[in-house]
Amino acid sequence: MLKKSAFTLAEVLMVIGIIGAVSMLTVTNARKGTDTAEKITQLRKTHEILESVVQQAVMEDGQIKNWQYMLTDTKTANAYQSEYVLKHIFNRLKLNKNCETSSGCWASDITGTSLYTTINTNGAKPNSDTASVKGILSNDASVSFYLSKAPTALTADQQTQFGYTGGDIIGYITIDVNGTAKGNTKWGDDVFLFLWTIDDGIVPIGNNVALNGANSCPNKLDICSAWAFYKGNEDYFKTCANDTKKGLAWNDVSKASCK
């Protein structure tokens, strides 16, 4: 007569443990994917809000290059920026909060390596930077405007590094898609950098910039803004991003994400 075999208690517990670990890993990865998708959706929605209000301002105030720059000899650069953004942009936005050049609209300083800070030394400190105009939009995203005193051209190096050769820019717009509520306040994760241009509206920096270079994504995370915006993922944080042969690439469909 054959004896019936059965699992021991130890074997059953081991199997349960393995199933639990796999389930936890699956749920964690799924949650990360969902979080990233939400950030990308919020990023694009925030861009849409800002782009729409710029277009409205152009329709009502005329072409940007003809807008009156209000800086006078008796006004500081901070006052100029505040008045300029308030007049043409913030007055047309539905803001949850308008901080102008004061603190309170950003959760904290920005972390992560950045190329932008070589241009604007306070570029990673939007909450405390008094040279930037800040606000919280109706979708709870934080925005920060840092403007030039007049439209200016990027240098040849900046054009290469930022991936934009279209013409003069008005300044830089930094977006924290999570606002002050949550998130890491980290370049490329929930914080992204845009150029406000004369001819092409609001453009994420880093378009078609070669990955893995010293001054490009993922080594400089602010340059990853275009990748997140156009490719719809943050896979530059993954291991494959540093693989020059099998990693991410702008013009190769098979390298649009880590698979």
Q: Would you give per-residue pLDDT tens digits along the chain (259 residues)?
A: 555 556 676 655 665 655 554 444 443 443 444 699 999 999 999 999 999 999 998 898 888 777 765 545 455 555 666 777 878 888 899 999 999 889 999 999 999 999 999 888 889 999 888 888 899 999 999 999 988 777 889 999 999 999 999 999 988 999 999 999 887 899 999 999 999 999 999 999 999 998 888 889 999 999 999 999 999 999 999 988 878 777 899 999 989 998 7
Using only the alpha carbons of the chain, give its radius of gyration.
Answer: 23
Write down the pLDDT at residue 150: 74
Instruction: Please check whether residue 8 is in contact with residue 14, taking contact to mean a CB–CB distance below 8 angstroms.
Output: no
- The model's pTM is 0.84
> Could you tell me which residues come within 8 angstroms of residue 178 by beta carbon, excluding any fewer than 6 positions away?
39, 42, 107, 140, 141, 142, 185, 190
What does the block give as tokens for 40? Answer: 């990308």
**Bridge partners for 147 per DSSP:** 171
Report the candidate in 213, 219, 165 with the shortest Cα–Cα distance to residue 188: 219
- Helical H runs in the chain? 9-61, 77-88, 156-162, 225-231
Residue 141's pLDDT is 97
With H, G, I as helix, E, B as strand and everything else as coil, classify residue 65: helix
